[in-house]
Amino acid sequence: MPPTQKTIIGVMGPGEGATENDKAAAFTLGKLIAEQGWVLLSGGRDCGVMDASCKGAKSAGGLTIGILPGTTRAGMSDAVDIPIITGTGNARNAINVLSCDAIIGCGMGAGTASEVALALKSDKFVILLNNDEISQRFFRSLAKNAQLEYANSPQQAVALIKQKLSEK
Domains and CATH numbers, the chain: 8-166 (3.40.50.450)
Q: Does residue 1 have a pLDDT over 70?
A: no
Q: For 35-53, give the secondary structure using H, E and C.
A: HCCCEEEECCECCHHHHHH
Q: Which residues pair with 9 in a beta bridge?
A: 40, 102
Do the beta carbons of residue 135 and residue 129 sit within 8 Å? no
> pLDDT tens for residues 126-163?
999 977 888 888 888 888 776 899 999 999 999 999 99
What stretch of H or E contains 56?
helix 48-59
- Cα 143 from chain centroid? 17
Distance of CA 156 to the CA centre of its chain: 15
- Report the percentage of the chain scoring pLDDT > 70: 98
pLDDT at 3: 63
C-beta of residue 95 within 8 angstroms of C-beta of residue 84: yes
User: By the 8 A CB rule, do 9 and 96 touch?
Assistant: no
With bands split at pLDDT 50, 70 and 90, how would you rate the model's confidence at 167? confident
How many CA atoms does the CB half-sphere of 15 hold within 13 Å? 14
